[in-house]
Amino acid sequence: MSDQFKKQAAERAAQDVTSGMRLGIGTGSTAEFFVQALAERVSDGLDVIGVPTSERTRSLASELGIRLTTLDDLPELDLTIDGADELDAGLSLIKGGGGALLREKIVASSSANMIVIADGSKEVTTLGRFPLPIEVVPFGLKATMNAIAKALETTGLPQKLVLRGGVQDPFVTDGGHYILDAHLEAIPDAQSLAGELVDIPGVVEHGLFIGLATKAYVAGTNGVKTVVPA
């Protein structure tokens, strides 16, 4: 059922795309349903150009005939459509489960609007049930982990950090970085935590997306509902 709901949300978002739009195209399982829905509209004559947020998305969109470019050539976008690992009532998000959080945040920040597409299981009262991805440079990894742990302690959060993929085979992002997944259980003050993390040398970006999403389409047993920031 989850895939069905993801597909419904993605198809609803695709209806918001109009000819001439400059699109940010997200990454992940729900975003892939959007790419497929967008490709169908493109084959019917919709004229858009997209900036993909990962090499995986680039490959799929190109294969399906969607015209693509880069932020270097098109630095201002009309709309980004992307999934989320969690979203709250204010449309603050946790993203990065697919490992593309840095590019996703750059693209979303370059867009006038951002639509989130998700199934109902991604809605939460308080962010944090999903481990928070923190993208870090490989150099000085232990020192960076220590600094993150101190920041988590300062904000009253658990200091459980897991290197994605493990020490022997760490996951490497498209940017050549590692990801630490912070198991926090609940984040009562996401804005404060975001500020603490961004100040740490070695932290490239974190998966808290605050103030970027302008609307969400969330699909469930009762259909697709529209959510705007509370």
Residues serving a catalytic function are 104
Rounded CA-CA distance 50/33 in Å is: 15
- Which is it for the CA torsion 128, 4, 11, 102, positive or negative? positive
The runs of H, that is alpha helices, within 65-164 are: 101-109, 141-154
Question: Among 97, 163, 94, which Cα is nearest to 128's?
Answer: 94
Question: Among 173, 189, 147, which Cα is nearest to 56's?
Answer: 173
Phi, psi of 109 (to 5 degrees): -70, -20
Rounded CA-CA distance 57/48 in Å is: 16
